Amino acid sequence: MKIAVLGAGLVGLASAHALADEGHSVVIIDREGPAAGASRGNAGWLAHTDIDPIAHPKMLRQVPKFLTDPLGPLAIRREYILPILPWLARLLIASRPSNLARSIDAIIAIQSLALPAWNQLSTQLGMEKMIHRRGGLFAFETHDAFREALPHFKRQEAAGIRVEYLDAPEVRQMEPAVTNAISGAAFFPDAAHVSDPHLVTMALYEAARARNIDFLQAHVRAIEVGKTVAVRFEGRDPMMVDRAVVAMGAWSKPIAASVGDHVPLDTERGYNISFPGSTRYLNRPVSFQGSGFVATPLDTGLRLGGAVELGGLKLPPNHARTRALYTKAERFIQDLPSFDQGRVWMGFRPSIPDSLPVIGYSQHSRAVVHAFGHGHYGLTQSAATGKIVADLIAGRAPPIDLSRFSPQRF
Ligand SMILES: Cc1cc2nc3c(=O)[nH]c(=O)nc-3n(C[C@H](O)[C@H](O)[C@H](O)COP(=O)(O)OP(=O)(O)OC[C@H]3O[C@@H](n4cnc5c(N)ncnc54)[C@H](O)[C@@H]3O)c2cc1C
């Protein structure tokens, strides 16, 4: 079959490989090129050990504190308060205990596929050296905050995730650059991170080209389903294909709507600063709990990132937020390079209020498969999503129950 994969981020590229594995003729379409979206600059954490939706009460409890700090880890841009209200209402509904429990079960299910799928894809494409298995730390400033988080870690343990608890000297033994401001940490030995998300996305793209997967630079406007599928573009003739996969991250909403699937997709904008060449700081990613940022030792340099800003796709970035994040990091990591030595970036997490991606057939036709909305875990879940997309196109049952991920669940 001829299949168009719309979007050349991690999810689209992983899907293209999984479809090519089945012998399909695949074309990847992107308006800019590979790695133009969130896949380019994310934190690089293969976070399959995380199981919390963003609607988690732990997070929601901190909202008032965060919102009073305009540069805190969570902010809503003034201009975007009205447009985001329906999404926020759904976030509250997603935080009801029964909904939350269902989201957590579904996150655990897809996260359980994540690392095996990455292991297989990276081995198949000779990218093993791009995956680092050194675990990850969740670090706490105060003993009280650490104690408060313990029930949460116990839930992860109950889900089969290995966790070790470290006191301050043990943290510093593992990560000598972490300062005395940290009093303890939870260590996830099975967490992993990538060499650099941009390099990984480009490696997937180059490998795709090497195996004759086509690439077309074009701006997708809509999809129409008739006897075949027409992908409509801005400024060029439509392309007729047998199947289409919508994997355009935070930009997927209008394209899904063009085939009648209305999904509450918005974006959580995230910020970071990277220090090219600064590779001596950490051995593994560290999430600084309560401060809303993660530090990742990429092969290309240290990256400090995080923050959630609800501000849609059009407003310009506010890098005062990145500076605030850097200032916090200075308290926790010794001798950071100066802010001016860093390269700032903002990206658009494609986010659904229940923190589950949309993976499934369009309601009107099995010729269109949606695969977007992976929020904070799109790098982690991309390889697994690609395999599920290939299952759906083949008409096979995927290894997990997809009803919680259905485009029709809203
Ligand atoms: C600051 C930050 C940190 C993060 N950290 C992590 C992490 O540590 N671990 C993790 O697992 N995830 C992380 N994420 C989330 C992860 O980056 C995303 O979930 C993931 O990259 C989404 O991939 P994607 O392929 O769906 O979308 P994208 O990478 O955004 O790709 C979408 C593509 O669609 C293209 N496109 C858009 N509109 C059109 C159009 N009309 N026509 C044609 N093409 C179009 C774009 O050009 C783009 O290339 C982070 C995100 C951010 C912002």
pLDDT average, residue stretch 350-374: 97
Instruction: Give the whole-angstrom CA distance, residue 88 versus residue 97.
Output: 17
Q: If you take atom 9 of ligand 1, which residue's CA is the nearest one?
A: 45
Ligand 1 in reach of 347 Cβ (< 6 A): yes
Q: pLDDT band for position 68 (50/70/90)? A: confident
pLDDT average, residue stretch 2-22: 98
What does the pLDDT read at residue 277? 93
CATH topology for the 53-194+265-351 domain: D-Amino Acid Oxidase; Chain A, domain 2 (3.30.9)
Q: Against a cut of 0.85, is the pTM above it?
A: yes
Q: If you take atom 16 of ligand 1, which residue's CA is the nearest one?
A: 378
- The overall average pLDDT reported for the chain is 95
**C-beta atoms surrounding 397 within 10 Å:** 10
pLDDT digits (tens, 9 = 90+) for 120-139: 999 999 999 999 999 999 99
Ligand 1 in reach of 357 Cβ (< 6 A): no
pLDDT digits (tens, 9 = 90+) for 181-206: 999 999 999 999 999 999 999 999 99
H-run or E-run covering 255: helix 253-258
C-alpha of residue 392 to centroid of ligand 1, in Å: 22
Ligand 1 in reach of 122 Cβ (< 6 A): no
Ligand 1 in reach of 136 Cβ (< 6 A): no
pLDDT average, residue stretch 4-25: 98
Q: Which amino acid is at 361?
A: Y
Ligand 1 in reach of 352 Cβ (< 6 A): no
**C-beta atoms surrounding 195 within 10 Å:** 17
**Is pLDDT at 224 greater than 70 in this prediction?**
yes
Sign of the C-alpha dihedral, residues 39, 192, 49, 143? negative
What does the pLDDT read at residue 66? 67
Classified as helix, coil or strand, 53 is: coil
**C-beta atoms surrounding 295 within 10 Å:** 27
What does the pLDDT read at residue 300? 97
Ligand 1 in reach of 251 Cβ (< 6 A): yes
Q: pLDDT band for position 72 (50/70/90)? A: confident
C-alpha of residue 230 to centroid of ligand 1, in Å: 24
**Is pLDDT at 275 greater than 70 in this prediction?**
yes
C-alpha of residue 146 to centroid of ligand 1, in Å: 31
pLDDT average, residue stretch 311-324: 96
What does the pLDDT read at residue 292? 87
List the one residue out of 355, 289, 290 whose CA is nearest residue 100: 355
**CA of 262: how far to CAs of 105, 128, 252, 362, in Å?**
24, 38, 10, 10
Instruction: Give the whole-angstrom CA distance, residue 317 versus residue 335.
Output: 27
User: Rounded to the nearest 5°, which phi and psi values hold at 12?
Assistant: -65, -45
User: Does the domain made of 2-40+199-262+355-405 have the CATH classification 3.30.450.20?
Assistant: no
C-alpha of residue 347 to centroid of ligand 1, in Å: 8
Ligand 1 in reach of 247 Cβ (< 6 A): yes
- With a pLDDT cut of 70, the percent of the chain lying above it is 99
**Is pLDDT at 52 greater than 70 in this prediction?**
yes
Ligand 1 in reach of 44 Cβ (< 6 A): yes
Sign of the C-alpha dihedral, residues 271, 276, 282, 283? positive
Instruction: Give the whole-angstrom CA distance, residue 152 versus residue 147.
Output: 10
User: Rounded to the nearest 5°, which phi and psi values hold at 198?
Assistant: -65, -45
Domain definitions of the chain by residue range: 2-40+199-262+355-405, 53-194+265-351
Ligand 1 in reach of 244 Cβ (< 6 A): no
